[in-house]
Amino acid sequence: MEKIFIFDTTLRDGEQVPGACLNPREKVEIALQLARLQVDAIEAGFPISSPGDFEAVKAIASKVKGPTIVALARAVRKDIETAWEAIKKAEKPRIHVFLGSSDIHIQKKFGLDREKALERGLEALKFAKSLCPDVEYSTEDASRTAPDYLVKVLEQVIAAGATVVNIPDTVGYAVPQQFGKLISYIKEKVPNIENTVVSVHCHNDLGLATANSLIAIENGARQVECTMNGLGERAGNASLEEIVMAIKTRKDYFNFYTSVNTREIIKTSRLVSRLMGMPVQANKAIVGANAFAHSSGIHQDGILKDRATYEIIRPEDVGITEHAIVLTARSGRHALKHKISEMGYDLKGEEFETVYERFLSVADKKKRVYDEDVNIIVQDVIFAHLADTRLYSFESYKVKTGNGKVPEARVRLQKNEVILEATAEGDGPIDAIFKAIDKIVGAYHKLEDFQVKAVTETKEAMGVATVRIARDSFRTLGRGSSTDILEASARAYVEAVNRIYYLQSRQSGC
């Protein structure tokens, strides 16, 4: 199997997205994560573009070890000098020189003819080579360049010392079959092509960047320039995660490999998204929120029987702990039973059917039913008759608190006609109440969630408190209401405690 080199340009081309500007510290943070991802090259920036970018590239060159650190430069002496100054302390530096090769670029951008453009490119390449042994040369807009002229340019820049020659589809104009033939033509017609690495840099204007990159690999390219989350100019670049996972997942077809640590993909994607302020669309391949989520009942049933039925990539391979079963109105009994079992409940027969009916009723009103919704439904069914068998009932409370004073609560509960009382201090009045209740029942409960909501908008609004507590392997919800939120909280906590005792007795058969 041959290796495909992954050249990441998130910090250069990816940063050209409007609004995605990074400061030097953020660029270094992303570069360090890209090194953990084990990409082969990081295009750190375009140093001549601004003092800030120069400093960022320089910092990356000195701090990031492992990947080749690349700086972009136009075929202009000052650009090349600046690029070298920025990366010369890198462990493995590379200067990346680019110049348009299509007639529209040569004539409209530069006002030159083909021969003059080639002279300019060769002069720039030779100067870059005098500074840095590793020089990449890009024939900008190669997909719209006359193939015979492209061959001529490549032959001469390779002879002049280019270690990598890049064939960009700069404006996303190519289609896969055409682009594959272009790479094949280059491999066949450039006599010294074996003395360099052929690279491709595809844009996504027609949504074909990944497809064009992959067919280029099939036809002889061995480096792919890409970005995390497919970021980049206009519609973006070929997506790093798509390229890498296509090669890994379909190794039976491609017969190539990369050195990328795929388990770092999700972490890298989220870091780039957060620092650049560019959300990833939910249905984005590999890194989107829905990439490993299943909501169809048929799909969920298949996944629970054998993950290979509807997953071609293991979520763990990209850094996700597991696939997501998303409960909706389309989910079936199997998925709901699996979710309930994950929560620690064992429901059978009529009890499960009652939960399923209530679940469908909720699902018809909501786009998605969350774990918390399922928990409430299950507990409401399980504890439907608890009112007649509860162990403790709330009687009263008193709280002492004030500025500079540690809150203290005295709580009274009733158990089997006996009044029990305890006092406790806490970080706040509610914490003190909960600790006093724990003292009375003789057990510590971990508070996992606590919420209070007003039912109405007046000053005398009824407050509804919801708590979720855990003890040992048991986890329960409790709800209480009152115009006094402290009382509502106490009632909710007592209900949750009663439910834990009920689950314990249910498990033991008592």
How many other CB atoms sit within 10 Å of the CB of residue 245?
22
Homologous superfamily assigned to 2-276: Aldolase class I (3.20.20.70)
Mean pLDDT value across residues 122-132: 98
- Cα 427 to chain centroid distance, Å, stands at 37
DSSP states along 28-97: HHHHHHHHHHT-SEEEEE-GGG-HHHHHHHHHHHHH--SSEEEEEEESSHHHHHHHHHHHTTSSSEEEEE
- Per-residue tokens: 190: 């450039």
User: Could you tell me where the DSSP H helices lie in 364-484?
Assistant: 371-382, 429-441
Nearest residue to 135 via CA among 157, 115, 150 = 157
pLDDT at 1 exceeding the cut of 90: no
Query: How many angstroms separate the Cα of 462 from the Cα of each of 387, 452, 456, 483?
Result: 22, 10, 6, 4
The amino acid at residue 438 is: D
* Contact assessment for residue 144 and residue 179, using Cβ atoms and an 8 Å cutoff: no
Q: Coil, strand, or helix at residue 448?
A: strand
Residues with Cβ within 8 Å of residue 239, at least 6 apart in sequence: 209, 210, 226, 227, 228, 229, 230, 285, 286
What integer best gives the mean pLDDT of the chain?
89
Phi-psi region of 505 (alpha: psi -120 to 50; beta: other; left: phi over 0): alpha
* Contact assessment for residue 196 and residue 220, using Cβ atoms and an 8 Å cutoff: no
How many other CB atoms sit within 10 Å of the CB of residue 422?
17
DSSP states along 153-208: HHHHHHHTT-SEEEEEETTS---HHHHHHHHHHHHHH-TTGGGSEEEEEEB-TTS-
pLDDT at 297 exceeding the cut of 60: no
Structure confidence at residue 503 (pLDDT): 82
**450: which DSSP letter?**
E
Structure confidence at residue 159 (pLDDT): 97
Mean pLDDT value across residues 177-191: 98
pTM over 0.75: no
d(CA 478, CA 447): 11
Q: Which helix (H) or strand (E) holds 471?
A: strand 463-471
The amino acid at residue 85 is: E
pLDDT at 296 exceeding the cut of 70: no
What is the per-residue pLDDT across 413-468, written as a single tens digit (0 to 9) for each? 999 889 999 999 999 999 999 999 999 999 999 999 898 887 555 555 667 888 99
Domain coordinates of the chain in residue numbers? 2-276, 293-382, 386-508
Homologous superfamily assigned to 386-508: Alpha-isopropylmalate synthase LeuA, regulatory domain (3.30.160.270)
The confidence band for 384, taking pLDDT boundaries of 50, 70 and 90, is low
Structure confidence at residue 293 (pLDDT): 60
pLDDT at 97 exceeding the cut of 80: yes
d(CA 22, CA 31): 12
Structure confidence at residue 324 (pLDDT): 64
Q: Which long-range contacts (CB under 8 A, 24 or more apart) does 452-455 make?
A: 452/485, 452/488, 452/489, 455/481
The confidence band for 402, taking pLDDT boundaries of 50, 70 and 90, is confident
* Contact assessment for residue 22 and residue 56, using Cβ atoms and an 8 Å cutoff: yes
